[in-house]
Structure 1
Amino acid sequence: MSEIPKDYVANDVETKWMNTWDLSMYYFDWADNTRPQYIIDTPPPYPTGNFHIGNSLNWCYIDFVARYKRMRGFNVMFPQGWDCHGLPTEVKVEEMNHITKNQVPRAQFRQMCEDMTRGNIVKMRNTMLRLGFSNDWSNEFITMEPSYFVKTQKSFLKMHDKGYVYHEEHPVNWCPRCETAIALAEVEYESNQTKLNFLHFTLAEDGNIKLCIATTRPELLCACAAVAVSPADERYKQYVGKHLIVPIFGQKVPIIADDAVEAEFGTGVVMICTFGDKQDIRWTKVHDLKVTKAIDRCGLMTNAAGKYAGMTIPDCKKKIIEDLKSENYLYDQKELDQNVGLCWRCKTPIEILSEPQWFVKVKPEEILSSADKIDWIPEYMKVRLENWTNTMEWDWCISRQRIFATPIPVWYCQKCGEIMMAEESWLPIDPTQKQPPKACSCGSTEFYGETDVLDTWMDSSLTALHVSGWDSDKTLRLPTQMRPQGHDIIRTWAFYTILRAKALENQIPWETIMINGMVLGPDGHKMSKSLGNVISPEDVLVEHSADAFRQWAALGGSVGSDVMFRWKDVVSASRLIQKMWNIYRFSMMNLDNFAEKDQKAFDTKKLKQTDLWLLSKLNRLIAETTDMMENARFDEAFKSIRIFAWETLADNYLELVKARLYGDNADAKNAARYTLFTAISTLCKLLAPFTPFLAEEMYSRIGSESVHQQSWPVADEKFLSDDAEAAGELIKNITGEIRSYKSDRKMALNAPLKKIEIYNVKIDASDISGATTSPVELMSKKPEFEHVPVEVKPNQGLIGPTFRDRAGAVSAALKALSPKDAENMKSAGKITVQVGGETIELPENAIEIKKEMISGGREVDILNVGDAVVVIVK
C-alpha cells in the first residue's frame, strides 16, 4: 500500500483523477438489453463559454443521479448536448465584429456564429470535466450540426403532415430591436407607469356629440378599427351601431358592444387598435374588423401613420400627444400602473404585429394528460405547467427572422406562390442555398427559399426523442427516465418537449421530471453582474475544490428550492473532506493490509457488541440513504452520510476500538478491522455520487477497480438490530460520561481510574475498559447506597460572622439529617436545620449533597447513564 499523506491536497488529487479516468466507463451501451435503462434527457446549455453556477447546480443533481443509478446496475445515459442556435450568439458576433447580420453574406455570418460557438463549447466542456461530471461523451450532440438539425427538419415535416404545423398571417409578439417574432413563453413582464390619455371622439352621425375615450396607445390612432362599450352600460347603449370620427386621422369607425369591456375603467369607451394588446386581437377576430399595420418590423411607424411615418414609437407617441393637445382632442391625463411585455433577450417592449409566420398547433388537453402520467419532483411544480397550459391563447410561433438557427425546409414558387415542403430524402438542407430538385405543381422551377428559421426551442424540445434513438438506426427507447431542468423553463422546454413527444410518437418524453431552483448570490439576491454578486464555479475551484463545490450543491436545500451560495458552506465542505481523509488515513494505518478477501473470510460470530452497533447503524444508513437517493433527497442523504462518518464512526467507534486495534488479542483486533474495513469501503461507495474524487482516492487503496464501477451498497438485514444499537448506544454513552467525568476534574482522558463498576445492564464492557484505560467490572446485583450530606459552602446564602461562628454547628445538624430528608429538602430548594433551638433556613445552593459512599464503606462517584449505574471507585 502506498504511503497515505497526512494532508489531502484536493487540487492535486482531482487533477490526477480527471486525467486518469477512462470516461468510457460512463458510456451507455445501446446493445445491452439485460440491464434496465436509465436515459437522462440532459439540458443542452447555451454555449456562452461560461458554465455558470446555475448550470453547475443542476448538473450536480444530474450527476448524483447518474452515478447512483450506474452503481444500482442501470444502463445509464447521461448525454451532453449543446443548444447552439439563437439570438444571443448572433448579437455577440455582431458586437465582436462591429457588423450587423445583413452586412455579410448569410452563409458567412452563420459560419462566424458556428466558429465562436465551437470555441465556447470547448471552454464549457473543460469546466464540466473539472467538476467531475460523469457525462456520456459518446452521446454528445450539438444542435447546429447537420446530424442533429436534420432531425429538427424532419420533425417539422412530420408535424406538418399530421396537421400540427401550419403557415398563416397572424398577430405575433414581435421584438422591434431584435427584428424577430418571439414565442409567448419568451415574453417577460415588468411593472411600470404610463399615462392614460382622455380624448374626445366626435359622433359621425351628429357632430355636436362627443364620446370620451381613454387610451394608453394614442400612437395607434391610425390603426383604430372600432370603439367598444359594455352592452350593460346605460350611458352608451343609444350609440351602439353608430360611428365615431378618429381624431387627427379622420377615419370613421363603428361603435360596438362587447361583454369584455369594463365599464368602470377609464370612461367605459375603449379604442380597438390593430394591435395594442391581446384583447384587441380577440375583438378584431370576433367582430371581423379591418387590420391596419401601423408599426413595421423595425419598430417604426408605417405610411398608415401619415405625417408620423418613419418615427420611432416613443417619438410618435410624444408628437401625437402634442398635436392632440393643440387641437383640443386631449382633455386629461392620469397616471396608470401597467405590466409591459418585454423581449426576453434585450428587454425591449414587444409589439403585436400581424405577420405571416409558421406555427405549431397547441392542444392543451394533450399536454395536461401527458403531464399527469409523469412523476414531478417536487410534485407541486406540475402546477406551473398546468397554469401555463390553461392560459395559453395562441399557438406556438416557431419561425424567427434570424440567421443562426435551423433552416425551415420550405420554398415558395415565384410563379404561383405555392409552398413546396422539402422531402425527407433532401435533408438536411438550407433552402436559401439550394433549390428543390423538382418543379412546382404549376410547372415552374423558379423558387425562393424560406429565409425565416426555426425557433431554437424546436431544436431543444427534440432532445428526449434524440437521446432515446429517434430517427436513427437504433431501437427507439422512449420514454426516457428523467428530465432534470430549472423551474424557469417549465413553460418552454418542458411544455414544448411534451408537445413534441405526443405529436411525433404519441408518448410521454420522460417518466420523471426533476425541477431545480435558482442559485442566489451570497447577499440572498438573484445573481446579477449589476449587483456584483456573481460567483462562477471556477472561483470556487481556485480557492477550494470540485468536491467541496459538489457538497455545497448537495446540502444547499431540497430539490426545487432556490439555493444561496455562501462561501462559509464551501469552507465547511473543505473541512469535512479533510476530516474524512483523517478518518480514512487512521483506519488504513490500522487495517494492516486487511483487504476484501479478509472481509469475506471473517467469521462474523466473533464480532463484539460495539462492532454490531456500528454495523447496524451502517446498514441502517445504507437503507435510508438509498431511499433518499431514490427520491432525490440529496441534502438529507449527504447529511446522513456526514453524521455517520464524523460522529458515529470517528468520534465514537474509533475511540472505542483503538485499544483493540493496538492490542494483542487477534480475534478482538480482527473484529474491529472487519468492521472498520466494511465501514470505510461502504462510505467510499456512498460518497461516490457526491464527492467522486475523494471517494476514488480512498477506494484506490482498497479495491482494484474504480469506485464508480462498484455496486451500490445493499443493507444486510442480518446486521440490522435494535438490540445491538441499544447496547452500542449505551456503551458509547457510558464511555462519553466517563470522559466528561475526567474532563470536569482536569484529568487527562487517558488517565486510568482505579476501578469502574457498572450495575443494572448486561453489556460487553471490554471496549469501555479500553477507551477509558481503566478496569471495568459488570456487577450482577444492584448497589446499595448511603447518601451523606457534606459541608456547608462558606458564605453561600448566609452573610456575616453569625454564619461563620455557627458553620460547624450547622454542618453537624445537616449531617444528622436522614439521607432521605436531606435529599428532599435539596430538591425543594429549602433547607432548614435546628441549631440551639433556632430554625436556620439555608438556600439550596448553600450546601452540596453527594452520593459518596457505597455499601462497604468505599468512597465513590456515581454516574447515571440511562438504566445503567456507573460507580467510579476512588
Structure 2
Amino acid sequence: MEIPKRYEFGVIEPKWQKWWEERKLYSFNKADRTRPVYSIDTPPPYPSGELHVGNALNFSYIDFVARYKRMRGYNVLFPMGWDCHGLPTEVRVERTIGKTKRDIPPEEFLELCRKFTLEWIKPMREALKALGCSIDWDTEYVTMDPDYWRRTQLSFVLMYRKGLIYRAEHPVIWCPRCETAIAEAEVEYVNVRRKLYYFKFLLRDGGEVAVASTRPELLAACVALAVNPNDDRYVHLVGRTAIVPIYGREVPILSDEEVDPEFGTGVVMICTYGDKVDVKWQKRHSLPVMVVIDERGRMTDNAGPLKGLSVQEARMKIVELLKRDDYYLKEEEIESSIGTCWRCHTPVEIIPRMQWFVKTRELSRLVLEAARNVRWVPPHAYKRLEDWVESLDWDWVISRQRLFATPIPVWYCKDCGAEVVAEPEWLPVDPRRDPPKVGKCPKCGSTRMIGERDVMDTWMDSSITAAVHAGWPDSMDERLFPADLQPNGYDIIRTWDYYLIVRGVALFGKSQFKTALINGMVLKEGKMMHKSYGNYVPLMEAIEKYGADAFRLWAATAAKTGMDINFTWGGLEYARRFLTKLWNIA
C-alpha cells in the first residue's frame, strides 16, 4: 500500500472513525466470559453548549486508558451518557429566550429545556467521535429519560427507607437569581474588593459601641452583638443590651470565642443570616430568627424602610439612613471572599426553608474509609476529598425549586402533613401531575393529597452512574461494579467523586469506583476554561485546524495528571509538526 506523502488528517481521521463505528469495534461484549473486564464510569457532560478543549482533555485521558486496556486483552466498557438536568441547562435556556421560568408555563419551559438538550447532544456526540474516543455508543443514555428517572427515584426511596434522607426546615444556601437552594459544593468563592462600614449601636443603659460590617443591609436581621471573651476592650459589655440603629430593637451582647478581635472593631453583628457562622451562632445561643431577604433577593417586610429593594439597593439605602441619623462612622475598602452560584455567578444568600437532605455528616466517617480504599492518581488528589469532607458543616440539600430535573417521589397529606413516599413499583412517577397509588393517607385516612413540587439536585442523577452502567437495579453485572476507573477533573472531586462515594456507601456499602484518575484544568490566560465564563476554545475548532491526533498528543504530553495546562495554539502546532515528522519517517 502506498502511503501518501502528507498526513491529511482531514481525510484520514474521519475515514477511520467511520470504519470503527460501522464495525462496532469498541462495543463491550457482555457475553464474553473469557477475557478480564475493565469498566469505566464515564463522566456524563452537561449538554448545554459545545465541547471545549478542557472537556476534551478529560475524554482524551479516558480514551488513553480504554485503548491501553484493550491492547492488554481486556473487555473494556467505555460507556456514554448525558447529564441533562439542572441549572446548567435551565440557565442557558433562560438566557437564550430572554425570560425566566416564572415568565412562561411550566410545561412550555420543560419542553424548551428538552429541545435545547437534544439540540446540543448531537454536536457534542460528533465532537467526541471526531476526537477519536473509543466509546461504546450502544450504551448511550440521557438522564431526562423516564427509565433514568426510575433509577434515581429508586435510590431516593431506598435511602429514605434507611433513614438517610429527611425533610426539615433549615438555613440553606440560596441563589436569588435561580431562585433555588444549592448545595455547599455548588458555591464558588471569589475574591472581591468591597466596603467595610463602621457604625454605632447605642446601649440601653447609656453609652455606645462601634461595629463594622460589609453587610449593613442586614441590620434588620440583627439578633445579637458578640465579642470575644478574651478581648479586654469589651468584656464589660457582655450581658448588656444594645439598640439596633434605625430599627430601635433591643438585642443582647454575647461572648463567643469564634469572634475575631482583629476584624473591624472586634464587635460583630449576629444576623439571620449573613453567613454560615451566623447560623452556628444563632443555634449555639438560641437566638430568634428574622428573615429579611426573600427568594428573589429582595428585602422583606421585616426590613422596614428597605422593603422591596434589592440587596445592593438596600445596602446603599441603609448607609444613607445611618448617616442621616448620625450612626455612621466611616467606611474602608477591604478584600474578602464571597460565595456565588456555580452556574449564574450571582452572590448567594442564606435563608431558612423546608428542604430535603441526605445525612452526609452521619456518613462522613464511612465515606472517608471508602475513599481511602480508592487508588487516587495522582495520590494527593485524595487530600482534596478528605479536606472537603472534613470541612462540611451541613447535610447535603438535594431538593431544588426548579423544573427540569428528576421529580422527588413524595406526596403530602393536606390534613395531617404526613409524607407518602412512592413504592418502588410506582416508579417512575411525577408527583407534580400524578396522584399517589394509595387511596388515603396512611396516618389519618384523609384522601386529600398534594404532590411534591420540588425536584432533585442533578447530582442525585449523576451520583449513581457507576451502578447504572453495571445494570442496577435490574440486572447488576458484578464484573462491572465497582467501576475500575473514575476519570474526572479535580474541580469535581468535591461533587462527583464525593457524591458517588456517599451514594455508594449508602446504597451498596462501598465506593462505586476503584481508581480515580484526576486531570487538571485547561486554562486560557490563567483562568479555567468554562462554558459559563465564555472563555473557552471549542474542541472542533482545534480539531479542524490541527487534527484529533495532534490534539491528543498535546493532551498526553502537556502536563502530568492533576496539573493545570495553559492552552496555546503553539502547543498544538508543535504536536502537528511532530506527527508530520513521524509520518515522514514512516
TM-score range, shorter chain: over 0.9
Percentage of identical aligned residues: 50
Question: Aligned pair in 2 of structure 1 residues 484, 456: CA closer, same or farther (>3 Å)?
Answer: same
Q: CA shift at 1:315, angstroms? A: 1.1
- The answer on 1:42 being equivalent to 2:45 is no
Partner of 1:321: 319
AA of the residue aligned to 1:14: E
Residues 773-788 of structure 1 correspond to what in structure 2 (within 5 A)? none
Letter in 1 for 2:501: I
How far off is 1:23 after superposition?
Answer: 4.9
Counterpart of 2:18 in structure 1 is 19
Residue 199 of structure 1 deviates from its aligned partner by 2.5
Corresponding position: 1:551 with 2:553? yes
Q: 2:466 maps to which residue?
A: 464
Q: Deviation per CA, 1:461-486, whole angstroms, max 9, x where unpaired?
A: 11111112220223343211000100
State the 1:211 CA deviation: 2.4
Q: Structure 1 90/546 Cα, relative in aligned 2: closer, same or farther at 3 Å?
A: same
How far is 1:48 from its partner? 2.3
Residue of structure 2 equivalent to 1:261: 259
Please say if residues 343 and 532 of structure 2, whose CA atoms lie closer than 8 Å, have aligned partners that are also in contact: no
| Matching of residues 473-872 of structure 1 within 5 Å | 473-476=475-478, 477-521=480-524, 526-527=528-529, 534-584=536-586
How far did 1:44 drift? 0.5
Q: In structure 2, what is the Cα distance between the partners aligned to 1:561 and 1:496?
A: 23
SS in structure 2 at match of 1:473: coil
Distance 1:37 1:321, change over 3 A: same
> What is the alpha-carbon distance in structure 2 between the residues aligned to residue 23 and residue 457 of structure 1?
35
How many Å separate the matches in 2 of 1:265 and 1:127? 51
Distance 1:188 1:15 in 2: 40
For the structure 1 residues 528 and 384, does the alpha-carbon distance in structure 2 shift closer, same or farther, using more than 3 Å as the test? Answer: closer
Distance 1:133 1:78 in 2: 9
- Name the counterpart of 1:172: 172
SS in 1 for 2:283: helix
Deviations for 1:389-417, whole angstroms, at most 9, x for unmatched residues?
Answer: 11111111111111011111111211222
* Partner residue of 1:219 out of 202, 217, 220: 217
Q: Partner letter of residue 135 of structure 1?
A: I
Higher-Rg member (1/2): 1
Q: TM-score, normalised by structure 2?
A: 0.95
The offset of 1:143, in angstroms, is: 0.9
Gaps of 5+ in 2: none
**Residue 8 of structure 2 corresponds to residue 9 of structure 1:** yes
Letter of the 1:564 counterpart: N
Return the alpha-carbon distance in structure 2 between the equivalents of residues 275 and 531 of structure 1. Answer: 29
Structure 2: distance between partners of 1:284 and 1:53: 46
Quickly say closer, same or farther: Cα 1:327–1:570, change in 2 above 3 A.
closer
Alpha-carbon separation, structure 2, partners of 1:198 and 1:186 = 32
Q: Give the structure 2 partner of residue 236 of structure 1.
A: 234
Query: Residues 199, 65 of structure 1: CA spacing in aligned structure 2 closer, same or farther, 3 A cutoff?
Result: same
User: What's the counterpart of residue 411 of structure 1?
Assistant: 411
CA contact (8 A) 2:217 2:315 kept: yes
1:124-523 aligned at under 5 Å gives the runs 124-204=124-204, 206=205, 208-362=206-360, 363-438=363-438, 439-441=440-442, 442-476=444-478, 477-521=480-524
Secondary structure of the 1:403 match is coil
Structure 1: gaps spanning 5 or more residues: 585-874
User: Which 10-residue stretch deviates more, 324-333 or 28-37?
Assistant: 28-37
Q: Quick one: structure 1 residues 140 and 320, their matched pair in 2 at CA, closer, same or farther if it must change by over 3 Å?
A: same
Measure the CA separation in 2 of the matches of 1:544 and 1:195: 48
Match of 1:78 in 2: 78
Q: 1:533 to 1:252 in 2, by over 3 A?
A: closer
Provide the secondary structure at the position in 1 that maps to 2:25: helix
Conserved in 2, the CA contact under 8 Å of 1:49 and 1:119?
A: no
Tell me the alpha carbon deviations over residues 558-610 of structure 1, each in whole angstroms, 9 at most, x when there is no partner: 222222333343334334434433444xxxxxxxxxxxxxxxxxxxxxxxxxx
1-structure distance, mates of 2:565, 2:47 = 23
> In structure 2, how many angstroms separate the alpha carbons of the residues matched to 1:49 and 1:342?
21
For 1:513, give the aligned amino acid. Answer: A
Instruction: Provide closer, same or farther for how the CA distance between residues 545 and 333 of structure 1 changes in structure 2, counting only shifts above 3 A.
Output: closer
After superposition, give the CA deviation of every residue in 1:616-642 in whole Å (9 maximum; x if it has no partner).
xxxxxxxxxxxxxxxxxxxxxxxxxxx
What secondary structure sits across from 2:138 in the alignment?
strand
Change (3 A) 1:406 1:10: same
* Matching residue of 1:694: none
Q: CA–CA distance in 1 between the matches of 2:395 and 2:365?
A: 14
Preserved CA contact (<8 Å) 1:23 1:134: no
Preserved contact between residue 521 and residue 529 of structure 2 (Cα < 8 Å): no
Q: CA deviation digits over 1:106-139, x for unaligned, max 9?
A: 2232122111111111111111111111101121
State the Cα distance separating 1:70 from its structure 2 match. 1.2
The range that moved more, 536-545 or 299-308, is 536-545
Counterpart of 1:316, as a letter, is A
Q: Taking structure 1 as reference, are residues 239 and 13 closer, same or farther at Cα in structure 2, changes over 3 Å only?
A: closer
Q: 1:520 to 1:458 in 2, by over 3 A?
A: same
Task: Tell me the equivalent position of 1:109.
Answer: 109
Shift in alpha-carbon separation, 1:559–1:531, aligned structure 2, 3 A? same
1:493 CA drift (Å): 0.8
Q: 1:215, CA displacement in angstroms?
A: 2.2
2:344–2:532: 8 Å Cα contact kept in structure 1?
no
Residue identity matched to 1:9: E
Amino acid at match of 2:279: I
Residue correspondences, number: 580
- Residue 498 of structure 1 and its aligned partner are, at CA, apart by 0.8
**Displacement, 1:5?**
3.3
Confirm or deny: 8 A CA contact 2:48 2:92 kept in the other structure.
no
SS in 2 for 1:63: helix
Cα deviation, 1:244-295, whole Å, max 9, x if unaligned, reads 2211112221222211122333333221110011111111011111011110
Deviations 1:290-344 (A, max 9, x none): 0111100000011111122111111111111111111112223233321111111
| Higher RCO, Cα 8 Å, sep 6+ | 2
Return the structure number with greater helix share.
Answer: 1
Indicate the SS of the match to 1:260.
Answer: coil
Looking at structure 2, the residues matched to 533 and 346 of structure 1 have their Cα atoms a distance apart, in angstroms, of 15
Alpha-carbon shift at residue 346 of structure 1 (Å): 1.5
Asked whether the 8 Å contact 1:301–1:312 carries over to 2, the reply is yes
Give the 3-state SS of the residue equivalent to 2:140 in structure 1.
strand
Distance 1:541 1:215, change over 3 A: closer
Query: Counterpart of 1:440 in structure 2: which amino acid?
Result: C
The CA deviation string for residues 418-459 of structure 1, in whole angstroms up to 9 with x for no partner, is 221111111111110111121112222222211111111111
Is contact 1:49-1:123 (8 Å) kept? Answer: no
Query: SS of 1:169's equivalent?
Result: strand
Q: Is the 8 A contact 1:199 1:214 kept in 2?
A: yes
Change (3 A) 1:470 1:240: same
**Farther off after superposition, 537-546 or 134-143:** 537-546
- Counterpart-to-counterpart distance in 2, 1:528 and 1:139: 27
Q: Report if the CA contact (8 A) 1:44-1:81 is conserved.
A: yes
Structure 2 counterpart SS, 1:79: coil
Contact 2:46–2:89 (CA under 8 A) maintained in structure 1:
no
Contact between 2:83 and 2:143, CA under 8 Å: does it hold in 1? Answer: yes
Distance between the aligned counterparts of 1:506 and 1:425, measured in 2? 23
Q: Counterpart of 2:24 in 1: which secondary structure?
A: helix
